[in-house]
């Protein structure tokens, strides 16, 4: 049996049995009328909402603010998020080159990436990658 309680009043909001290690939250397990499980409504910065909601775009955040789904302290919804460019970066696949390899280290590809928005632990802005064409080992 599990319980979801209000942090301040300690009132039980939801209770039910877990199934296969999962906590199933259904309307029938609510102890009163349907409720939203949110903290007390307070205004928070756009950057905090951006992190809490899983890094949505500024357009999505603006839509949430205009529909009064979130309360925001700042009018400006553009901000620098260091995690977003890193999460959206991707590797381009290597296209066919016409080179056939039959052993490791016969052909090595390299790529330089940067500048990084964050310094490496050794103070570098750029990174180099070496890829073995045969094993695909990086």
pLDDT tens digits along 51-106 = 888 888 888 888 888 887 777 877 777 777 888 877 776 666 666 777 889 999 99
> Does 79 fall in a domain?
no
- pLDDT of 25: 67
Q: How many domains does the chain have?
A: 2
pTM here is 0.39
In which element (H, E) is residue 88 found?
helix 83-88
117 within some domain: yes
Out of 21-30, 55-64, 71-80, 113-122, least confident range: 21-30
Predicted local confidence at residue 105, as pLDDT: 92
Q: Where is 111: in which H helix or E strand?
A: strand 108-113
Residue 73 lies in a domain: no
* 78 found inside a domain: no
Rounded Cα gap, residues 138 and 133, in angstroms: 9
For 98, the domain range is 91-138
């Amino acid at each position: 049996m599990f319980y979801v309680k209000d942090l301040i009043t300690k009132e039980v909001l939801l209770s039910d049995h877990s199934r296969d290690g999962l906590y199933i939250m259904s309307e029938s397990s609510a102890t009163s009328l349907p409720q939203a499980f949110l903290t007390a409504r307070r205004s928070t910065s756009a950057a905090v909402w951006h992190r809490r909601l899983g890094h949505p775009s500024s357009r999505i955040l603006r839509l949430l603010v205009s529909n009064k789904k979130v309360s925001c302290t700042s009018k400006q919804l553009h901000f620098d998020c260091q995690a977003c460019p890193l999460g959206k970066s991707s590797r381009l696949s290597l296209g066919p080159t016409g080179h056939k390899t039959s052993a490791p280290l016969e052909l090595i590809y390299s790529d330089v990436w940067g500048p990084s928005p964050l310094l490496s632990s050794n103070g570098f802005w750029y990174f180099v990658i070496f890829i073995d064409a045969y094993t695909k080992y990086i």
